[in-house]
Structure 1
Amino acid sequence: MTNDEIEQLLTQAAISNTKENFANAEHLCRKALSISDGAPVNEDEENISKLLSMPAVLQNAVALRLLSESLWRRGMASRSLAFAKSALAIALDLDNQPEIALSLSNVGIVYEHLSDSVAALEFFTKALAVQEKLGDSEGIASNHGYIGVAYKAIAEYPLALEHMHKELAFYEESGNQNNIAASFHNIGSVYLDLMDFSRALEYYGKALAMNEKNGNNVWMSNNLSSIGKIFIDLEDYPQALEYYHKSLSLVEEIGVKDAVANMLSNIGIVYSRMLDYPKAIEYLQNSLTISEEMGFKVHIVRCYINIGYFYKGAGSIQVHYNT
């Protein structure tokens, strides 16, 4: 395969990730790297080792980074990490500063998906320093956003809002609608944690309107799910179910397995709040099935715990009705 052919594959892979066609992006990256589709984890590890033992090639770094992105965007962060770190290793070997910055951010995102926000902050901060050195305004803005999300995860809300508003200011100036919507959503999530529901709804509503206009289904599902969470906190369960079901439809269509499992679980919890335990158990069982298929260990444990509670609740209601 010629360099030009590989470049074309990588361009198409980047576009596929942008258009939420993640399976195709993975296929194209594997083709560029000469790694077979559907390879088991141990075979992927062997292929990565071979790539790292070869002379560093920028195309390999880009392909590995895009491949890792296609995985974590579908809820496979644990499998994505090795590809992300390998991409960074090659970029560092080449001392290619733009690719180093992108790879640092990508590793940070994977750690954020793995709920290791401290590690994520480390990589995002390094990426920001490189972007500032390069004078890459958009990269600087993106990393402020990533840092804000990581600070939110560790409940450092003033710092989270500070970085998120820096990101938003840049994107509002540049007019990037997709990134403005993402910034709105992230700011809304901070206000949700702070239980400022009116502000959270305001920012989520702005984000949802923009994402609907631009057809960003992944972000729309996030917006809808977050609005549903607000209505749970407000104990308006029918409204919560409405938003959760809309979010579920989108993630099922896209094929983001971890999001599908989470939404099924969330819907089950809403039904439990409404004391409809048979429905709650049905949704939790469906969530558990997907979680076991994908190896989402933390979620598997949560499903079993909740199902146990729901069976106990259903039994209590049955006893109550029979007396």
Structure 2
Amino acid sequence: MKKFLSSVFVALTLTGSSYALTDLQACINQFNAGNYQEAVQYCQKAVIEYPNNPVAYFWLGKAYARTGQIDKSIESFKKASEYDSNDHDLIFIYNWLGGEYGAKGDYTNALFYESKSLKLAEQFGDVDGEEADLNNIANIFHHEGNYSKALEYYKKALELENGKSKTGAIYNNIASVYSDMHNYKKAIEYFKKAINVAEEHGHYLGSGVNMLNLGMTYLQAKDFKNAKFYLEKGLERVKKVGNKYWEGIGYWDFGSYYRDTGNIAQAKEYLTKAYNIFNAIGDSGDALKIIYLLSSIK
């Protein structure tokens, strides 16, 4: 399953960051380790103890997002925006709100919040914020099937990024557009660029994700040899990093590979591995998709 990547801010440093430090730090640590259900539990404790702390609500929103609880994620990000009076911090929060509305398929609200974030980023001269929002607005157009508009905004984001560490994520997204347009030659070109950038910046997880996406593009192009090669390399990397979510995606990808190559038993084995991981980390949304996919394989 190819994934295009949102540009989101990793950390939020606000005036309330000293509150519930133990639970909040535990939430962040568990989130970064890919243990999203545990992250939810720690952040729930933090917001109960300090109900006006925007940082706790922000990270709770992120944890809910990763466990597929979109409505709770949106609610938490809105709480964070209510309790934060700093306009610069709202760039971060609106950025995530837009992403969650996009994940829900509510592209009107997604575009509304990403545009609000972009406007604030421009006011503050926050180039990283502008790049993130342009990338996410492009994601919205991508979801809607407006590929020319998506490419336009991705390339605007690419100009602002200008060779920095997130260039690879944008290359990944451009590649995904070309893949959806069935222009596999262009897609492969940009996925390889994404891998090179990730490796140059030491982003081992990022390169693994890009390899999985490249493998799935080769699968769509019926180049099964290269598909298996990159899926194996990508899965090996995300497992080595210890990111359970992307490990689950890797098993999902291999399930698709074996289905398309006619090995139904192996397909079911790998899809079951993916389901078990998503279920374990609390990603109910992807777990349900795997159940549906398993039921469709005869």
TM-score (norm 2): 0.79
1:142-157 equivalences in 2 (<5 Å): 142-157=132-147
1:101-180 equivalences in 2 (<5 Å): 101-114=91-104, 116-172=106-162, 175-176=163-164, 178-180=165-167
**Structure 2 residue runs without a partner (length 5+):** 1-14
Question: What residue is the counterpart of 2:10 in the other structure?
Answer: none
Distance in structure 1 (CA, Å) of the matches to 2:128 and 2:295: 48
Partner SS, residue 287 of structure 2: helix
Distance in structure 1 (CA, Å) of the matches to 2:225 and 2:102: 31
Residue type at the aligned position of 1:48: V
Distance 1:282 1:166, change over 3 A: same
Distance 1:255 1:136, change over 3 A: same
Q: Would you say 1:299 and 2:286 are equivalent positions?
A: yes
Distance in structure 2 (CA, Å) of the matches to 1:171 and 1:39: 30
Q: Would you say 1:76 and 2:67 are equivalent positions?
A: yes
Question: What residue is the counterpart of 2:18 in the other structure?
Answer: 6
Question: What residue is the counterpart of 1:51 in the other structure?
Answer: 50
Question: What residue is the counterpart of 2:267 in the other structure?
Answer: 280
CA contact (8 A) 1:131 1:139 kept: yes
- Higher percent of residues as helix: 1
Distance in structure 1 (CA, Å) of the matches to 2:214 and 2:127: 31
Question: What residue is the counterpart of 2:12 in the other structure?
Answer: none
Distance in structure 2 (CA, Å) of the matches to 1:167 and 1:185: 13
Distance in structure 2 (CA, Å) of the matches to 1:40 and 1:192: 34
Distance in structure 2 (CA, Å) of the matches to 1:163 and 1:182: 14
Q: What is the root-mean-square deviation in Å for CA atoms of aligned residues?
A: 3.4
CA contact (8 A) 1:25 1:67 kept: no
Question: What residue is the counterpart of 1:229 in the other structure?
Answer: 216
Provide Cα deviations, 1:210-266, integer angstroms capped at 9, x if missing partner.
Answer: 101212133212211221121111111232122122222233333433332222122
CA contact (8 A) 1:77 1:114 kept: no
Residue type at the aligned position of 2:143: A
Distance in structure 2 (CA, Å) of the matches to 1:265 and 1:208: 20
Distance in structure 2 (CA, Å) of the matches to 1:5 and 1:133: 25
Which consecutive segments of 4 or more residues in structure 1 shift more than 6 A? Answer: none
Residue type at the aligned position of 1:241: K
Distance 1:67 1:296, change over 3 A: closer
CA contact (8 A) 1:161 1:187 kept: yes
Return the structure number with greater relative CO, CA threshold 8 A, min gap 6: 2
Question: What residue is the counterpart of 2:6 in the other structure?
Answer: none
Partner SS, residue 230 of structure 1: helix
Provide Cα deviations, 1:102-133, integer angstroms capped at 9, x if missing partner.
Answer: 11112223344555544332211111111222
Question: What residue is the counterpart of 2:257 in the other structure?
Answer: 270
1:248-263 equivalences in 2 (<5 Å): 248-263=235-250
Q: How many residues align?
A: 278
Partner SS, residue 156 of structure 2: helix
Q: Which of 1 and 2 has greater Rg?
A: 1
Question: What residue is the counterpart of 2:54 in the other structure?
Answer: 61
Question: What residue is the counterpart of 2:178 in the other structure?
Answer: 191
**Structure 1 residue runs without a partner (length 5+):** 27-36, 55-59, 313-323
Q: Would you say 1:85 and 2:78 are equivalent positions?
A: yes
Distance 1:67 1:221, change over 3 A: farther
Distance in structure 1 (CA, Å) of the matches to 2:39 and 2:188: 43
TM-score (norm 1): 0.73
Distance 1:24 1:221, change over 3 A: closer
Question: What residue is the counterpart of 1:317 in the other structure?
Answer: none
Shift of 1:76: 2.6
Question: What residue is the counterpart of 2:5 in the other structure?
Answer: none
Distance 1:99 1:298, change over 3 A: closer
Shift of 1:299: 3.1
Question: What residue is the counterpart of 2:4 in the other structure?
Answer: none
Work out the percentage of aligned pairs sharing the same amino acid.
Answer: 23
CA contact (8 A) 1:62 1:99 kept: no
